[in-house]
Each structure stands twice: as structure tokens, then as C-alpha cells.
Amino acid sequence: MPSVQLSSSLQRADAEVLAIHCSDHRFQAAFYEFLNLKLDLNENYDLLVLPGGPQCLTLVEYLPKFSWAGWKWLRYQVEAHDLKRLILIQHQDCGWYKELPFHLHASSEPRLRQEEDLRRARAALAKERPDLRVEFYYAGWDASERITIDEVSG
């Protein structure tokens, strides 16, 4: 394939944000729209995209090597780019969670399991990087299959 000229150019402004979300293809356009247009990040953020998204920050006992990698990538990006803000997004019907054993969470209800992991990530981040501003979101769809994203507090 010959080289392809794109309309995109190199982002020269410093980034302040790292976003972590799932790789599920059904949500990519929505995540992009949310980060760029609703949160006004204007394509200027670091991004980790992997199955289960921020769940990798909570796997210490079940999949310690995955947890190690998730934290390694997070620390690298935050330190290398002096990031100030972290955006973690979970989503409805996440296939990664269907693979996880139920004993890892207090509830078997998918959204409650994901919110439990966001609380675990919040606690771990408060200890590890209290300087970071951390936001949590949950993406789902409505009856017409339009994506909605809610902020998750507490």
C-alpha cells in the first residue's frame, strides 16, 4: 500500500488527561464523541484502550500480571506527560466481565460489579496518585440504541 496522506497533523499542545476505556467496537464512536465534544478535550489526551478498560487496575489477586501492566502503563503515561486528570469509562454489556469469576465481586449484577471496580480503582488511585483528578463514567444505551454516559460518583 502506498503512503496515505491524512488530514490530521501532529498534536503539539501538552496533554493533561489520560482516558481509559474498553476496546468494545460498539462504543468507540461514542467514547470519541464524549471525550472530544462533551468533555471538550479536542483530541488532546492520552488513551489506554483494552478489554474491560479501567478494570485492569483492580485485578491484583485474580490476574496480577494484567494488574501490573495496567498500573505500569498508567504510571508511565502520567509521569512521562505530567498528566493531571484521569477519565475512566465502563460500559453496559461489557464482554470482559462475562469472563470474570463471580467471586471477585459482591454482586452478580453486571453494572454493580463494574461500579464496585470503579470504587476499588478510586481507592487505589487515592493512595497511589492523590494529585490526580479522577472521573468515572458509565456508558449504556437507551431503547433507541443511542448511547448515554452517566458520571459515577462515590
Q: Which residues bind Zn ion (CB under 5 A)?
A: 22, 24, 94, 96
Residue closer to Zn ion, measured from CB, 96 or 136: 96
CB of 120 to Zn ion, least distance (A): 17
CB of 133 to Zn ion, least distance (A): 24
Residue 113 in contact with residue 101, Cβ under 8 Å? no
Residue closer to Zn ion, measured from CB, 27 or 45: 27
Distance between CA atoms of residues 45 and 13, nearest Å: 10
CA distances for 55 relative to 3, 13, 16, 71, 72, angstroms: 37, 29, 22, 11, 14
Distance between CA atoms of residues 118 and 112, nearest Å: 10
Kindly report the length of the chain. 154
Residue closer to Zn ion, measured from CB, 94 or 118: 94
CB of 95 to Zn ion, least distance (A): 6
